[in-house]
Structure 1
Amino acid sequence: MEVESIPFKNTGYFSDLICDYLEGKDSLQPFYERLPGIEQFKEQIAVKQSFPDTHRKVLYTVLGDQYKGIQMSGNTKVNISLLQESSTFTVVTGHQLNLFTGPLYFLYKIISTINLTKQLKFSNPESNFVPIYWMATEDHDFDEINYFNYKGKKLQWNKEVSGAVGPLSTDGLEAIYDAFSNEMGNSVNANRLRELFKKAYLEHDNLTEATRYLANELFGEYGLVILDGNNPELKQLLVPYVEKDLLENKSFKNVSSTIGQLQTLSENYGIQVNPREINYFYLIDGVRERIVERDGMYYVNDTNISFSKEAILDELAKHPERFSPNVVTRPLYQEVILPNLCYIGGGGELAYWLQLKEMFMAMKVAFPVLLLRNSALVITGKQKEKLQKMNIGLSDLFLKQSSFINKKIREISNIDIDLSAQRKCLTDQFKDLYELASQTDASFLGAVKAQEVKQLKGLDKLEKRLLKAQKRKLRDQVSRMTDIQNQLFPGQSLQERNLNFSELYLEYGQRLIPNLMKALKPLSGDFTIIEME
């Protein structure tokens, strides 16, 4: 296995906001507490030392209940037990309950989290660090999770649903299992995948249980702890913060203020999420709808449910599990119930976390370190050999396809199709004409300028025609180049956003996750390219 890397900024796939954050740009400092680094984590440990023991006890008890009937590894048992101790801290990643893990980056998120806990333990042997996977069981975006891609095909679970996805019955997944099974063949690795899907989805009653089983099977041996935040005991710890949202619109005011500050920094900093006056849903069987306030009454959107101020506070006190955080308040919930140091997420996630620091300060909750998850491109030895034969550098592959083809055609063409020299010569000639015109009749300057623009445009057109002609002449080379890029960047996007881990597992089997564990370095700050034999 060979591992190379390139800066995230050079891939062209990460936003200006995230690239500036990774570079530690001074203007962004007000939007986070500290950047990820070994010394900064020591500071974060000191800050989180005040995490309440009462919250630890609740967390430990809830995890014990959630793991009943689950075959835990020794490492996971130890980690859950360690959460009772004041010297234990967590590193968290979260993800939706995508069918069969969804995109490949699900693995990269969890591996980044596990590997960071190992690195922190090495640097801080007096403390303990537990990797947490937060299951987004309360999400209701079924269309975002009900499929996975396999060898260019979309295997989709079609089902009429409403409410949170976690409690969804797994009925109907037999058809997906059959379709998946029929595509895979009968290799040893295919049979393992087949059995994993079957046990996860056909032998568990709902999506929460199925996802917990799947993540535990893949990562349990590394001590991963899987948490479902949809729990009344955990939600009880959130009650004071929900009250502030219901009565004072505190999240809305603070996040709106931060958005305004971010927008003044750069027009390229797109806003990831917009807060609402109330950032909680009302959650009961089959329903997860927004809570809105009008004239002192609280209504559950698109239902007949309503509460007076006194009634909704009573409902919150008696049934905190019915109040479900949205994308703005879920991070706050996480930090309230976990002794957490760091959240690991993708670029989009970190972008909305950077909108939240002011809200955390107003709520008097410590803001975690934010770390961009590892991103990777996995290539086979055969693919690497093809790239070398075609003299394609790894960085070339990240170019948009038209730019990639144009660059390589210019390199391999036996004629010079770069007319820069001719443009310079033409520009120099027009300098003489400008001087001549100014000495004779200045009114000719406009005519000279128009002629210069016309002739430069003519050179541009000629260059494009030359390039097009060379593409036709070298169409076999173009075809081979685009084929290899399309293999590695399916849909002209990052591999990790399209492929499901099953395609790599078919190739590498039980070596896949251990190899990824070795290759991915969470604090490297670079995009990783892994040649896996």
Structure 2
Amino acid sequence: MPTDCISYQNSGYFSKLIVDYLNQKPEVQSLYHRFPKPEHFKLQAEEKRTTFPLENRAVLVNALAKQYQKLDVSEATKTNIQSLKNDKTFTITTGHQLNLFTGPLYFLYKIVSVINLSKQLKNAYPEYDFVPVYWMATEDHDFEEINYFHFRNKKIQWNRATSGPVGRISTEGLQEVFNVFSKELGVGANADFLRGLFQKAYLEHTNLTDATRFLANELFKEQGLVIIDGDDAELKRLFVPFVKRELLEQTSFKMVSETNEKLKDYTVQVNPREINLFYIEDNLRERIVFEGSNYRINNTNTTFSESEILNELENHPEKFSPNVILRPLYQEVILPNLCYIGGGGEIAYWLELKANFEANAITFPILLLRNSVLLATEKQVQKVDKLNLQWHDLFSGQTEVTNRKTAEFSNFNLDFSEQKAFLKNQFDKLNQIAMQTDKSFIGAVKAQERKQLKGLENLEKRLLKAEKRNHQEQLLRIYEIQNELFPNQSLQERKANFSEFYLDNGKRLLERLLEELIPLSQEFKIIVLE
């Protein structure tokens, strides 16, 4: 088995902003509060303890009790929920869309990351309690992003017309999806478990929120995971002062726009709107737009004066939904949270938000990149060993690894750098002669130099191409194993669904993740499955 490790920074799968964040570059240090180091979590807990109101804890626990009424709640989860009343209990949170049957693999990695970090912090700081939280993105409206999952390169998709927040969508029509998936699963105990899990989650619950809550609870209830739905009137009431400020002052637009100016050397993940709120009902999720002296619900005929919209906010806070800019603030207002764990894209947009948190006097959480994993079978690792590959070869782009391995296989040097350097040296001498004799000769010398160098480059390319043909069989085997582990030249965790691996490994899959993922590590974890 290859022994090299792949850091996130060297994997080639993260943006410059995330790489600079992981490397704690001075250019980005103003964008975060505390870097995720073990000793910083105690400081974060002490600060959050003094700034998070006890009355918010009571509202939170009551809301969670109602949300869990219809679930089989484990003792570990019950204990965690009740412990949130205590001012020495804090949350470690991740969030994710309501993807059909969890969507891609990294759904699991996010949740295992918050579970394992909570355990690690409890061992380090036993005077505190730490609760792993999964925030369901029930108020999103991008149904096309969540209505499918991949199983063994087959796309299992739920087609229907929708509008409004995805969490409120009826599960009607999922019987047909279940029938397709059930046939793909085949026979066996693990297939029966997956079949039953899908059936109980989606065919025995009436909306996507309840289905997703059941599914996540079934997978992680013994680990004490707490699942929260922010689409909740009681919780929204805690956020009313911040919504009011957003409506009247547009603070987030000003603060995030200023931060984005500092990010001009990076790709900005999200841009703020003047008002970063949606107005939602069961079949409606539209932006609130300020026009003249009124507030209009986009794509509708509904308008409010200032006093009317503030009255609506007071009476129906559940109708006001934060967008991507304000959702993190909402989360930190209602949770005694220390750390948010997310993917590269999520951490990138969180890095735009610190100034807005400060303007609203809310403690900015520690930001941690979730664990990333490559799952491989023993048979695949044997192939990798036989081909004398390292993990960095497989993480490389196909052209890069092809050129590198062709050079290794070849009996002679395919790099003409030495010849190019020699040629350039000769033309430097000719240029000196031209300068001393006839300067009009310089142009001809330069033109000949370009021609000769171009000729060498073409010969180099032709030789490489010829050697690729000579080693075609070995290269094809490299392509095959790389395509198995990196489908469509992308990370496995961004495409494959957990069911594909659960089918062969059963509950041992989750056990291995819980055993092996180290949240504060900055390396891809390679897990070899039996």
- TMscore range, shorter length: over 0.9
Of 248, 253, 275, the match for 1:278? 275
Of 430, 434, 452, the match for 1:433? 430
Partners of 1:499 and 1:3 in 2: how far apart?
Answer: 25
Counterpart residue number, 1:91: 92
Counterpart residue number, 1:55: 56
AA aligned to 1:261 is K
Counterpart residue number, 1:17: 17
Contact 2:164 2:284 in 1 (8 A): yes
Counterpart residue number, 1:357: 354
1:432 CA displacement: 2.5
Contact 1:57 1:84 in 2 (8 A): yes
1:431 CA displacement: 2.5
Calculate the TM-score normalised by the size of structure 1: 0.97
Counterpart residue number, 2:318: 321
Counterpart residue number, 1:528: 525
Counterpart residue number, 2:160: 159
1:407 CA displacement: 1.1
Cα root mean square deviation, aligned:
1.3
Partners of 2:80 and 2:2 in 1: how far apart?
Answer: 32
Contact 1:350 1:370 in 2 (8 A): yes
- Residue by residue over 1:382-424, the C-alpha shift from the partner in whole angstroms, topping out at 9 and shown as x without a partner, is 1111111111110011111111111111111233322222212
- Residue by residue over 1:31-89, the C-alpha shift from the partner in whole angstroms, topping out at 9 and shown as x without a partner, is 11110011111110111012111000000001000000200111101100101111100
Calculate the TM-score normalised by the size of structure 2: 0.98
Contact 2:374 2:485 in 1 (8 A): yes
- Residue by residue over 1:176-224, the C-alpha shift from the partner in whole angstroms, topping out at 9 and shown as x without a partner, is 1111111121022112111111111111111001100110011111000
Contact 1:4 1:529 in 2 (8 A): no
Of 464, 467, 470, the match for 1:470? 467
Contact 1:163 1:288 in 2 (8 A): yes
Of 503, 507, 515, the match for 2:504? 507
AA aligned to 1:33 is H
Any idea what SS the aligned residue of 1:349 has? helix
Counterpart residue number, 1:100: 101
Partners of 2:189 and 2:409 in 1: how far apart?
Answer: 43
Any idea what SS the aligned residue of 1:256 has? helix
Any idea what SS the aligned residue of 1:183 has? helix
Partners of 2:448 and 2:313 in 1: how far apart?
Answer: 75
AA aligned to 2:487 is P
Any idea what SS the aligned residue of 1:526 has? coil
Residue ranges of structure 1 left out of the alignment (5+ in a row)? none
Contact 1:280 1:326 in 2 (8 A): yes
1:171-182 superposed matches below 5 A? 171-182=172-183
1:325-344 superposed matches below 5 A? 325-344=322-341
- Residue by residue over 1:114-145, the C-alpha shift from the partner in whole angstroms, topping out at 9 and shown as x without a partner, is 11101110111000000000000000000000
Residue ranges of structure 2 left out of the alignment (5+ in a row)? none
Which deviates more, 481-490 or 408-417? Answer: 408-417
Partners of 1:164 and 1:170 in 2: how far apart?
Answer: 13
1:4 CA displacement: 6.5
Partners of 1:201 and 1:396 in 2: how far apart?
Answer: 41
Contact 1:377 1:528 in 2 (8 A): yes
Any idea what SS the aligned residue of 1:171 has? coil
Counterpart residue number, 1:138: 139
Query: 1:238 and 2:235 equivalent?
Result: no
Any idea what SS the aligned residue of 1:132 has? strand
Partners of 2:180 and 2:117 in 1: how far apart?
Answer: 37
Counterpart residue number, 1:115: 116
- Residue by residue over 1:330-365, the C-alpha shift from the partner in whole angstroms, topping out at 9 and shown as x without a partner, is 000000000000000001001110110010011011
Any idea what SS the aligned residue of 2:338 has? strand
Going from structure 1 to structure 2, the CA distance change for 1:2 and 1:482 (only over 3 Å counts) comes to: closer
Counterpart residue number, 2:69: 68
Query: 1:455 and 2:422 equivalent?
Result: no
Of 403, 407, 411, the match for 2:408? 411
Contact 2:167 2:208 in 1 (8 A): yes
Counterpart residue number, 2:28: 28
Going from structure 1 to structure 2, the CA distance change for 1:2 and 1:192 (only over 3 Å counts) comes to: farther
Contact 2:136 2:227 in 1 (8 A): yes
Going from structure 1 to structure 2, the CA distance change for 1:100 and 1:406 (only over 3 Å counts) comes to: same
Going from structure 1 to structure 2, the CA distance change for 1:116 and 1:3 (only over 3 Å counts) comes to: farther
- Residue by residue over 1:134-179, the C-alpha shift from the partner in whole angstroms, topping out at 9 and shown as x without a partner, is 0000000000000001111111100000000001111111111111
Partners of 2:441 and 2:379 in 1: how far apart?
Answer: 62
Query: 1:147 and 2:148 equivalent?
Result: yes
Any idea what SS the aligned residue of 1:166 has? helix
Counterpart residue number, 1:188: 189
AA aligned to 2:511 is P
Contact 1:4 1:530 in 2 (8 A): no
Partners of 2:432 and 2:255 in 1: how far apart?
Answer: 61
Query: 1:375 and 2:376 equivalent?
Result: no
Query: 1:402 and 2:403 equivalent?
Result: no
Contact 2:60 2:334 in 1 (8 A): yes
Any idea what SS the aligned residue of 2:167 has? coil
AA aligned to 1:247 is L
Contact 2:278 2:321 in 1 (8 A): yes
AA aligned to 1:144 is E
* Corresponding residue pairs, total: 529
Contact 1:121 1:127 in 2 (8 A): yes
Contact 1:93 1:343 in 2 (8 A): yes
Partners of 1:271 and 1:233 in 2: how far apart?
Answer: 34
